[in-house]
Structure 1
Amino acid sequence: MVVIRGRNRGRGARAGAAARRAPSAGGTPTVPAAAGRWLFTGGDGRLTAYATSAAGPVRWTETAHGTFDGPYTTEAPGWAGPLSLASSREGYVYFAGLRVPEDGGLPSVVVSTQYQTGRPLADWYDLGVPRPSGEEGAVADAVAAGPVVVVNQVSGSVHVLVSLPRTGILRRSRTGEGRWGRWKRVTDRPYAGEFTAAMPTGGPLEVLAVGHEGSVDRWAGAGGGRFELRDRFGTSVVDGTPTALETARKRATYIWRHSGDDSLVAWRAGDGGSGRLLPLGGAGGRGRPGVTRAPVGGHDCTVLAQTGAHGAVEVAAHVTGSEEYGTWWAPVGDPGTPLVAPQPGVDGAGRVVVAALDGTGALVLTRQDPTQDGLAFGPWNREGTHAPSAAGRHG
């Protein structure tokens, strides 16, 4: 069993001062709506937290002293969000969002990359309005869900997926050498709710989508650019809560909130048969859970974070792949203000970190206290200098 403790004492000297600073230009930062993760560790071990705003993506970057600079806004003309993110084994962070053309019309999908912690994003690349290629008379739909970014950790290829209300789920892929292909079909039917995607190491690209009749479908790549429906099962899913995590080679685990009591459940494909739902607790919680893998007490653990039933940030951990042995939730201290969308990560020193945003759009963060047994956390601190927006400024 993993012990989780939070400390109420001392929110830190920086907490009150940071809360009084004005938010960055471009509006209050909000957590990326299409992203399962928004806190990443770069190749140099520094953390970067990302959000979105009316003007474009926003980021806070950890300094050599462990504090954070930001938020800095990278302005994107016509930015419509939402922002989706994924990282590669080298620490590159890939961005995708929607942009409305100046003359109106349907939004197009735009992508960019940050190759080094704290440095500017590459120029935005327009993938166009999604529509199936090679299909005569195909009509473009407005994007209903997504875009979602997935990275192949072996080849370095990047996949951007969207869900269209009449067409279904499409993808457009970039090779490891940087060449983009055309929009191609993943599913042969449209889906009503959001979807999530994963590409576990050594395995194909997978998509988990919620259907119109309460069914959940898992599609997986079958070679030659084709996808097959591998699983279909009935369950209740709260829209906007599914997320995915690689939990073993060639295996992804999907987590979402069940509408019966708003608790979290996990599901992964079975060996030679249908998978099964695994209860994770956290009843009464809200929003998409944050999830990551981290070493805790010498064990490979899955760490989850959520906004609990009473509004506090709660964390749970279990040995990865062993949900059936139980998951225990515990509050993580008192940050002094309501927080949203808590996201766990791992810093350069190997400590578990939980980040969240407060009502002003400020980044609030707590780190694991290695002097304590189990998974104990230190005080919450508000981070960042609320520097003015600067197009392309990430120095």
Structure 2
Amino acid sequence: MVRGKSGIRGASSARAAQHAPPAGPGPRRSSPPAGNWLFKGGDGRLTAYACTPHGLLRWTEAAAPRTGWAGPDAFDVEGWTGAAAMAQSREGYVHFVAVRTGRDGSDAQSAQSGQDGSGRPEIIVATQFQTGRPLTDWHSLGTPALRGGPAGDRLTGPPRIAVNQRSGATHVLVSLRRGGVLRRSRNAEGAWGGWKQVAPETYEGDVTPLMSAGGPLEMLALGPAGADRWVGVGQGRFQLADRIPTPVLPGTPVLCETGPRRVTYFWRYPGDGSLVAWRAGHQGAPGGLMGLGGAGGKGAPGVVRSVIGGYDCTVLAQTGAEGDVELTAYVTENEGYGAWWASLGGHGAYAPRLAVDAAGRIVVAAFDARGALICTRQDTTQQGLAFGPWEAA
């Protein structure tokens, strides 16, 4: 199935490329959240999310024996600013973090942080426990600030969220103009702690976190000298584990757990838009930067691990230089063998994300030019890594 530098046997553009469906009208203009927005729930069904000027949109895969998608369902939030991210636990729960404008000065968490909350951006969280079911009420975490820190600090990027895959604890991270990177955590019993500083340095770009199963919380933060990797060392403390002196295109980093307690980072190089992978060395195995091609691509790639032809593979999707959605796959942590990109069609689609459905097929979802959801699925009846036609949700 997977061979040397070709990456995908049989995934040539002649077989894999498909025409995109007509742009759907969509009830309102949508945009992708930060990070991943396509998840498989505990019952095996997929759910996709998008942001609107008023809140979240949600598309839910129909339950068997039906096919297709239901939605979009709208979840409006008063004061919604559009900055949102999400992460999933091993049980299939999807945890959301977003920013809204503070409604009044009575919020207890805002008062605790020393801010009045009135008109200020506040961090809010919610959870979806079951596929297709309503979200919980949004809970305010107040305006992020360090006790005794600079007043009137502001966010420099969207908030991010990570989940402990063993305990279910959640961690919300924000980057402030003057206060550095702050974290607020909820333990497995549901109790929230206060805002605590993870990194004292100021990062203007994204902060991208991940907590591997059994591993510490770690994050990639973009600074003027390149990319910094911070890793938890216990008792709420973090240390700067790696300073990677390479340019990184803001908004493009993604993380994937590629082995036990091992995380691989992907981002786009600003020189030619190509993708690179970076991994810390482990147990004598060298790490460092590895080129993945895909020059001229746009935005953050989608990434998922899947078994292809009996091999544990890492699959990446991107909006390519010609405007099509492109795909590559290679044996996990074997970037050195090269990556060969194949077009899947879908011209004009953006922000592709990947998941594996209940039947074990790779699903590529993206948004068309009008912000409507479209997707294509792996055709397992054919040899190689072939995909069916694009379909509108």
Normalised TM-score (structure 2): 0.90
Structural mapping, 1:192-203, within 5 Å? 192-203=204-215
* One of 298, 301, 310 as aligned partner of 2:322: 310
* One of 23, 35, 52 as aligned partner of 2:26: 23
Counterpart of 1:53? 52
- Answering whether residue 76 of structure 2 is matched by residue 75 of structure 1, we say yes
- Answering whether residue 179 of structure 2 is matched by residue 179 of structure 1, we say no
The count of aligned residue pairs is 369
Cα displacement (A) at 1:138: 4.1
Cα displacement (A) at 1:137: 4.9
Cα distance in structure 1, aligned partners of 2:149 and 2:218 = 28
Cα displacement (A) at 1:252: 0.6
Counterpart of 1:296? 308
Cα displacement (A) at 1:300: 1.0
* One of 104, 107, 129 as aligned partner of 2:143: 129
AA matched with 1:281: G
Structural mapping, 1:101-112, within 5 Å? 101-102=102-103, 105-112=119-126
> For each residue in 1:188-218, what CA deviation from the matched residue of structure 2 results, as whole angstroms up to 9, or x when unmatched?
2111211211111111000111112x22211
Cα distance in structure 2, aligned partners of 1:66 and 1:200 = 33
Cα displacement (A) at 1:8: 6.7
Cα distance in structure 1, aligned partners of 2:137 and 2:100 = 14
Counterpart of 1:391? none
Cα displacement (A) at 1:268: 1.1
Counterpart of 1:390? none
- In structure 1, the gaps of 5 or more residues are 384-395
- Answering whether residue 161 of structure 2 is matched by residue 160 of structure 1, we say no
Cα distance in structure 1, aligned partners of 2:90 and 2:311 = 21
AA matched with 2:352: P
Cα distance in structure 2, aligned partners of 1:315 and 1:10 = 13
Structure 1 residues 153 and 58, CA, compared in 2 at 3 Å: closer, same or farther? same
Cα distance in structure 2, aligned partners of 1:269 and 1:379 = 38
Counterpart of 2:92? 91
Cα displacement (A) at 1:373: 1.4
Higher deviation after alignment, 273-282 or 337-346: 273-282
The percent of aligned pairs where both chains have the same amino acid is 52
Structural mapping, 1:211-360, within 5 Å? 211-212=223-224, 214-271=225-282, 275-332=287-344, 334-335=345-346, 337-360=347-370
Counterpart of 2:42? 43
Asked if the contact 2:29–2:52 (Cα under 8 Å) also holds between the matched residues in 1, the reply is yes
> For each residue in 1:147-180, what CA deviation from the matched residue of structure 2 results, as whole angstroms up to 9, or x when unmatched?
1110110111001100001111111011111111
Counterpart of 1:209? 221
Cα distance in structure 1, aligned partners of 2:184 and 2:56 = 21
Cα distance in structure 2, aligned partners of 1:59 and 1:109 = 21
- Answering whether residue 379 of structure 2 is matched by residue 369 of structure 1, we say yes
AA matched with 1:330: A
Cα displacement (A) at 1:23: 2.0
Counterpart of 1:387? none
Cα distance in structure 2, aligned partners of 1:58 and 1:162 = 23
- In structure 2, the gaps of 5 or more residues are 105-117
AA matched with 1:131: A
Cα displacement (A) at 1:105: 2.8
> For each residue in 1:228-257, what CA deviation from the matched residue of structure 2 results, as whole angstroms up to 9, or x when unmatched?
111112101001101111111111111000
Cα displacement (A) at 1:129: 0.4
Structure 1 residues 201 and 303, CA, compared in 2 at 3 Å: closer, same or farther? same
> For each residue in 1:67-124, what CA deviation from the matched residue of structure 2 results, as whole angstroms up to 9, or x when unmatched?
0011111011000122201011111001111001246532000000000000000000
Secondary structure in structure 1 of the residue aligned to 2:336 = helix
Secondary structure in structure 2 of the residue aligned to 1:83 = strand
Higher deviation after alignment, 91-100 or 292-301: 292-301
Cα displacement (A) at 1:51: 0.7
AA matched with 2:282: D
Asked if the contact 2:54–2:82 (Cα under 8 Å) also holds between the matched residues in 1, the reply is no
Asked if the contact 2:48–2:59 (Cα under 8 Å) also holds between the matched residues in 1, the reply is yes
Cα displacement (A) at 1:143: 1.1
Structure 1 residues 205 and 359, CA, compared in 2 at 3 Å: closer, same or farther? same
Asked if the contact 1:5–1:375 (Cα under 8 Å) also holds between the matched residues in 2, the reply is no
Asked if the contact 1:369–1:376 (Cα under 8 Å) also holds between the matched residues in 2, the reply is yes
Runs of 4+ in structure 1 deviating by more than 6 angstroms, as ranges, are none
